[in-house]
Structure 1
Amino acid sequence: MSLVNPSDSLERQNEKLIKIAGALMRRVEYGSEQSSAAYAQFERAALLERRVRERTRDLERTLDLLHESNAQLGRANAEAETARSNLADAIETVSEGFALFDPQDVMVMCNSRFCRDFRDTANDLRPGLPFASYVDEVSRSRFLALPDGQTPEAWAAQRIRRHRDRRVMFNVQLAHDRWLQVSEHRTGNGGTVVVQTDVTDLVRLERQERARLRDKQTRMIRATLDHLNQGVCIFDEHARLLGWNDKLGTLFGLPARRLQLGVSFFGLLDRLDEDVVFTRGIDRDGFTRWARAEGPRGPVSFEIRRGGGAVLQVFGRGMPDRGFVISVTDVTTEREAAEKLAQLNEILEQRVMERTLELEDALSAAERANASKSRFVAAASHDLLQPLSAAKLYIASLNDRCAGGDDGVILSKAESALTSAEQIIDALLDISKLDGDGLSLDIRRVALRDIFAPLRDEMEVLAARKGLDLRFVPSDLMVESDPAYLRRILQNLLANAVRYTETGRVLVGVRRNGGSARIEVWDTGPGIAEEDQNAIFEEFRRLDATRGTSEGLGLGLAIVERACARLGHPLGLWSEPGRGSCFMVNVPIAGRAEPNRPTLARQSARPAGLAQSGLIALLVENEPQMRRAMSVLMESWGVSVIEAEDAPGALTLLDDLQITPDALVLDYQLGPGPSGLTLYRMIEDRLGALPCVIVSADRSSALRQGCKDLGLALLAKPLDRHKLAAFLERAAVLMA
């Protein structure tokens, strides 16, 4: 209901509204309570009318939307129906059988070719059929050719198990020799698409190709068998002959009529029984048992002799189909050659035995000569070292007393000559020991810096005389070696480097080489030609023949090579003429050394502190010249010396004098009586422990160990006066 007529003009509607508004204003201002109530009802009516009008508009819009949605739904249904029709038409055009199952394994749709070959089940296949029912229908179809021994229920159970896989593909045999390939594919929502393809033509083509290949292989096998220089025969699982070559009949002398397809192996063996003798391997019964074996056959090999002496080697092996193949080889020539070789071998063995006995006799003689030589060199060296040591001590005493001048120069040259002779004797002793079988090595952990330090002190003077720059690269590595022999190796290498280097420098360093330390001695000398690098390790071989014997007799590198071989330290050499040389020794690494500790300064040639010490030393030496030289030297230092020739004389002298000496200087070899070690123990029992040094030309490890056990110092002959002075000074300190 509207207060104005909508068909009126706007001017007329405005006039009406103005009048209504005026009347309402008057009613508000002058009306009674009844009129106020009526006006309130009027307001409510107007409000209700407005809300009804709004709801009517909303309803009209909703109806419009509903009509539009219905129109869209109709179009969508039409499109879906069209798509379904198109899908059905497309599926129908597919040459394979097609079916779609939803995620609950219920058939959604299929084409007319699906299960067309199972004509007795085609009417039951329609949308809504469960997958299990579809499998059950197919398993009971008379057009399904089940494998031998398989029931429809077992086939259906196997088909359901395959259906659980993500991707399935297999062939199904139908009646009348037809084949169907079935494949399953999963859809995105978990459904299943089943496709059936007729593969009968492919299977038949494959059979034809397989048969053709078998024929071709048969021809190839026949050609191969005829080409072989061996006789070959093949038997099936029933030991019947399947194939053979002509060589087999030739080797056994069998006519063609006896070698026929299907002939029994055992019949053939019986026919050969009179002409064949089993000579090596198994016998006839063992061969028969092998052929009759029901299980897998292992390989078998044996030899037989046929007729007038032909030797045949037979080799048999089982095949996967339980058949077996046998090959026969004529080895008559090889066996005759082997017999002749055996006869020759016996003759040769007899001759080798005779030569071996002769060589053993020669070797025994050489070993005896070598042992005799070693004993002679050791004894001769000991006898030579005694007077040399005495001469050096006399010269040292004179040199200390001379103030210099020409006499001092002459004495120095004499001492140098004696030192050269001493070095030659030491080298001969070392070679004799290294060549002998009784060498005992003291392999232990040793710090390289303890080897380098004395070598540096010793070689610096020689290098300085020639104006060479001698450098040692510090190393804190510990190695496994014999300290004495390792020092001798490096000493000889350094001496050679300094001797043959005229200008430049000599460098000693260490490189890590895996688990070993490679000690390298570099020089800037003349170098060594490649053809001479092996010759330099020979005894008395020097490349520079113009040098005098005072510069060595060529024994240093021979000692180095022998010592490295006995220690197991690989020795290497790099050299280039005009540039220099590098000798390398590889020694096993045993860790790192402790930090350096301060050491006492080197003692001077003439110890000044002994003159005021009042030291009394007991000297026991059986060689008169050596004993006198040592006495003169020690007395020149201010030491009071009491002398004895042997152990009984020393003990008698101590009893007569009734004094306790401050130091003992004892020779190890004192003639037929007790040795120096035994004498020390006797003196120790009487007077207690005293400072003692053992002097000897014996360089055996047994003597070193004996001195070590007693806590005694050991000085080697020729005697080093500096070491002797150092011992006496230590004794003087203990006395004070």
Structure 2
Amino acid sequence: MLTSLINDADSLERQNEKLRKITEALMRRVEQSTDDSGAAYAQFQRAAMLEEVVRDRTRELERTLELLNVSNAKLASANAEAEEARANLANAIETVQEGFALFDAEERLVMCNSRFGKHMRDIYHLFRPGLAFADYVRLVSRSPYLSLPDGETPENWAAQRMLRHRDNHVVFNARMAGSRWLQVSEHRTPDGGTVVLQTDVTDIMRLERQERERLLDDQDKLIRATLEHLNQGVCIFDRQGRLLGWNRRAGELLSIPINRFHLGAFFGTLYDRIRSELRFIDHADERSIEDWVAHSTRRVPLSFEIGIGSRTLAVFAQQMPNEGFVMSFTDITSERDAIRAVNEVNETLERRVAERTLELQDALRVAERANASKSRFVAAASHDLLQPLSAAKLYVASLENDVHSPELAERLSKASSALASVENILGALLDISKLDSGRTELNVGAVSLGVMLDQLRDELQPMAERKGLRFRMVPTRAFAQSDATYLRRILQNLLSNAIRYTQTGKVLVGARRTARTLRVEIWDTGPGIPDNQQDRVFDEFHRLDAASSAEDLGLGLAIVERACRLLGHPLRLRSEVGKGTVFSVELPLAAPDGLPKPDDSGSATGIGSLHNRIVLLIENDDNLRNAITLTLEGWGIDALPCAGLEEAETLLDEIDIAPDAILADYQLDHGTFGTDAIQRLKDRYGPLPSCVITANRAPDLQQTCDRIGAALLHKPLNLADLRRFLTQAVA
């Protein structure tokens, strides 16, 4: 019952008050009770217990009140400290020389100093705590004290400002009324708030502008000095065709008095001044120039030649980024005079060459008739002599078993050997006559080089072993495109010749693959061939050492040379006296089983235009460099002539353009080579078409050019070959 009368949720004062009332009521009932059974005493006992509870609750209430008083004292102290800290913070941000504002994580203004927004007097009084950040941006965007860029609306500015507000750090400059500038920066606080700082940077912007104007003025003086030192005439026009800059050389080349050039003069005015004296030399005309100037957008570079008086000028016009344009004028009178002189000389030479060609053709026809008659005679005579010679050999062979005298047997052997030599001579003469006649039938197809070399090894190995030579063939599975009969005769003669002339050492045969060909090489350790004899070894009946090669008739290499020429197989010879000789025959690769040889479907065989192509020329000889440059320009090529690699790299860095092709002399100054220059430029710009020009005809130079992927042209330079290379390079 007592528990129901007292609610634990009541305060201690309320509970004590209820207990007191209960105690008083119980005491009254005890005093008024007349029950003799002892109920009054029980009630008194309960009242005493209740009084004890009241005293305990009272003591607890007193302790709670004491704690509450202590808490109130601490709270009052904390409030005082907070107010002091807030006052200190307000004083601190007020001393900041910049505008300062703090927004909380809810994008509401917490506090700001008096300098924040002071440049906007119309909205300055609205910056109060509780202002939303979006409202702050909207007020600033509509303030007349904010100078917006041309074409910018307040709504667009506010949208861009809110977009940038998403970043953690924002810094930008805002132009204010009165040519003042504010730098506004935003930074995020750890709790997600935003600090905005406004710094007046007007003085800094003015200093930067003054410095920029000074630099522009210095740059203008530098450009003016540069223009005046150019050997070209230069005129610069704006998008309306008004003159912005020029140099004195332009007036000299165009025959216009310098006082006619003034800032703002129109192109048409200057053009009318020279119209009557102007003549166009190439494809350009008066209408095309006027149309080009009239189109202020997307002008393509224009180059043409004009004549004014006795001068010939090369004109180049190009649009600038601001839609203006610049024209340059170069005096090329001397170059054109030189080209005309060269053309006249060429015409004279061509006439002489034509006359001489007719004479040579007549002589050639006479020689061909004589050679054909000689070949027919040799073929007929050789064929007629071979039959009785074969009969004589049979008769001599039949006597070998009947002769028992050693002296007679030796004579018979010598006679048989002599007849065999005569037979070989006639056979060789017959082969030569067939090759010289030009009527030889060829059966060109895929030939297994490995099978053919194995057959020749089996045939010639005993001959090498009898002389004590090491005879080795490197195995190969390659197929060559050739005539099997003549190819076997070529390799057989070269191998027989190597074994015959090598007294000690070895003979080595192998095949090397290149990009499109197969090169068969025969190495020996023989006596070698002197330089003055290397061209003569292919003549008929020519022997280097008759004593050491008595069985050699001197016709084997002559047959090899003619057969290689007939088949189109390049034949090369390298030799060093005392060390040995290397003969090599270059054969086109073929697919096995008679399949066609791989074609160059990916190669550039089409004809491309040379006009406006960029060709880098590296030639250390001034006269030859100038002559080639004039020739290239005559074909419409933009030539970049350089004396060496260093000058070429500097020029390419300045124009920042990779050339379409490279022409390089092989032997340059300071011990450098054109092949090294080409390789260095290819490493830098990629696989550029390139060509080496040289008077050096060493066989290993072709290998070097093949290794770096460059063509090879020999001096004196054949212009047809040069043009063919450039046409294929740009295709």
Q: Normalising TM by the smaller chain, what interval? A: 0.5 to 0.7
Structure-1 residue corresponding to 2:11: none
Conservation of the 8 A alpha-carbon contact between 2:501 and 2:548: no
Q: Deviations over 1:371-425 (max 9, x none)?
A: 4444333333323333333333444444477789665554443333232223233
CA shift, 1:242, in A, is 3.1
- More divergent stretch after superposition (244-253 vs 487-496): 244-253
Structure-1 residue corresponding to 2:246: 244
- More divergent stretch after superposition (333-342 vs 540-549): 333-342
Counterpart AA for 2:382: S
Q: Is it true that 1:425 corresponds to 2:426 in the alignment?
A: yes
Structure-1 residue corresponding to 2:207: 205
Partners of 2:257 and 2:513 lie apart in 1 by 79
Conservation of the 8 A alpha-carbon contact between 1:281 and 1:301: no
Q: Give the direction of change, closer, same or farther, for the CA distance of 1:150–1:466 in structure 2 (3 Å limit).
A: closer
Q: Deviations over 1:283-335 (max 9, x none)?
A: 4444444433343444445555556x555555444333333334445555555
Counterpart AA for 2:547: T
Task: For residue 142 of structure 1, give the secondary structure of its aligned residue in structure 2.
Answer: coil
Q: Is it true that 1:387 corresponds to 2:394 in the alignment?
A: no
Counterpart AA for 2:158: A
Q: Equivalences for 1:5-154 in 2 at 5 Å?
A: 96-97=98-99, 99=101, 105=107, 113-125=115-127, 128-154=130-156
Q: Deviations over 1:354-382 (max 9, x none)?
A: 22322333333344444444433333332
Q: Is it true that 1:259 corresponds to 2:295 in the alignment?
A: no
Partners of 2:72 and 2:530 lie apart in 1 by 110
- Larger relative contact order (CA 8 Å, sep ≥ 6): 1
- More divergent stretch after superposition (439-448 vs 67-76): 67-76
Structure-1 residue corresponding to 2:642: none
Task: For residue 173 of structure 2, give the secondary structure of its aligned residue in structure 1.
Answer: strand
Task: For residue 241 of structure 2, give the secondary structure of its aligned residue in structure 1.
Answer: coil
Partners of 1:440 and 1:71 lie apart in 2 by 127
Counterpart AA for 1:491: Q
Conservation of the 8 A alpha-carbon contact between 1:181 and 1:197: yes
CA shift, 1:156, in A, is 0.8
Task: For residue 161 of structure 1, give the secondary structure of its aligned residue in structure 2.
Answer: helix
Structure-1 residue corresponding to 2:485: 484
Task: For residue 486 of structure 2, give the secondary structure of its aligned residue in structure 1.
Answer: helix
CA shift, 1:212, in A, is 1.7
CA shift, 1:144, in A, is 0.8
Structure-2 residue corresponding to 1:554: 554
Q: Deviations over 1:334-363 (max 9, x none)?
A: 555555555444434333332232233333
Structure-2 residue corresponding to 1:463: 464
Task: For residue 232 of structure 1, give the secondary structure of its aligned residue in structure 2.
Answer: strand
CA shift, 1:449, in A, is 4.8
Q: Give the direction of change, closer, same or farther, for the CA distance of 1:459–1:261 in structure 2 (3 Å limit).
A: closer
CA shift, 1:146, in A, is 0.7
Conservation of the 8 A alpha-carbon contact between 1:446 and 1:479: yes
Partners of 2:401 and 2:86 lie apart in 1 by 129
Structure-1 residue corresponding to 2:6: none
Partners of 1:71 and 1:364 lie apart in 2 by 135
Structure-2 residue corresponding to 1:292: 294
Partners of 2:495 and 2:295 lie apart in 1 by 79
Q: Give the direction of change, closer, same or farther, for the CA distance of 1:447–1:137 in structure 2 (3 Å limit).
A: same
CA shift, 1:153, in A, is 0.8
Structure 1 unpaired stretches of 5+? 1-64, 594-736
Conservation of the 8 A alpha-carbon contact between 1:241 and 1:260: yes
Partners of 1:306 and 1:514 lie apart in 2 by 54
Conservation of the 8 A alpha-carbon contact between 1:297 and 1:317: yes
Q: Deviations over 1:38-94 (max 9, x none)?
A: xxxxxxxxxxxxxxxxxxxxxxxxxxx999999999999999999988887776666
Conservation of the 8 A alpha-carbon contact between 1:310 and 1:332: yes
Counterpart AA for 2:143: S
Conservation of the 8 A alpha-carbon contact between 1:303 and 1:313: yes
Q: Equivalences for 1:401-480 in 2 at 5 Å?
A: 409-435=410-436, 437-472=438-473, 478-480=479-481
Counterpart AA for 1:382: H
Counterpart AA for 1:180: L
Structure-2 residue corresponding to 1:361: 362
Task: For residue 492 of structure 1, give the secondary structure of its aligned residue in structure 2.
Answer: helix
Conservation of the 8 A alpha-carbon contact between 1:537 and 1:561: yes
Partners of 2:263 and 2:244 lie apart in 1 by 6
Counterpart AA for 2:545: D
Conservation of the 8 A alpha-carbon contact between 2:500 and 2:549: no
The alignment yields a C-alpha RMSD, in angstroms, of 4.6
Structure-2 residue corresponding to 1:493: 494
Partners of 1:588 and 1:549 lie apart in 2 by 35
Structure-2 residue corresponding to 1:56: none
2:220 counterpart (196, 202, 218): 218
Q: Equivalences for 1:635-674 in 2 at 5 Å?
A: none
Q: Equivalences for 1:708-723 in 2 at 5 Å?
A: none
Q: Deviations over 1:547-591 (max 9, x none)?
A: 4642x1333234334444554555555655444444444556668
Conservation of the 8 A alpha-carbon contact between 2:507 and 2:524: yes
Q: Give the direction of change, closer, same or farther, for the CA distance of 1:542–1:94 in structure 2 (3 Å limit).
A: farther
Q: TM-score, normalised by structure 2?
A: 0.60
Q: Deviations over 1:121-156 (max 9, x none)?
A: 444445654432232122122221011222211111
Counterpart AA for 1:138: V
Counterpart AA for 2:164: R
Structure-2 residue corresponding to 1:179: 181
Counterpart AA for 1:160: M
Conservation of the 8 A alpha-carbon contact between 1:476 and 1:592: no
Structure-2 residue corresponding to 1:619: none
Structure-1 residue corresponding to 2:7: none
Number of equivalenced pairs: 530
Counterpart AA for 2:326: V
CA shift, 1:115, in A, is 3.9
Partners of 2:402 and 2:95 lie apart in 1 by 131
- More divergent stretch after superposition (86-95 vs 463-472): 86-95
Counterpart AA for 1:216: D
Q: Give the direction of change, closer, same or farther, for the CA distance of 1:132–1:525 in structure 2 (3 Å limit).
A: same
Counterpart AA for 1:152: P
Q: Give the direction of change, closer, same or farther, for the CA distance of 1:549–1:90 in structure 2 (3 Å limit).
A: farther
Query: Max radius of gyration: which structure?
Result: 1
Partners of 1:92 and 1:248 lie apart in 2 by 65
Q: Give the direction of change, closer, same or farther, for the CA distance of 1:328–1:448 in structure 2 (3 Å limit).
A: closer
Query: Percent identity among equivalent residues?
Result: 58
Task: For residue 553 of structure 1, give the secondary structure of its aligned residue in structure 2.
Answer: coil
CA shift, 1:265, in A, is 3.2
Q: Equivalences for 1:324-363 in 2 at 5 Å?
A: 324-332=325-333, 339-363=340-364
Partners of 1:174 and 1:506 lie apart in 2 by 95
Structure 2 unpaired stretches of 5+? 1-66, 594-731
Task: For residue 146 of structure 2, give the secondary structure of its aligned residue in structure 1.
Answer: coil
Partners of 1:479 and 1:167 lie apart in 2 by 73
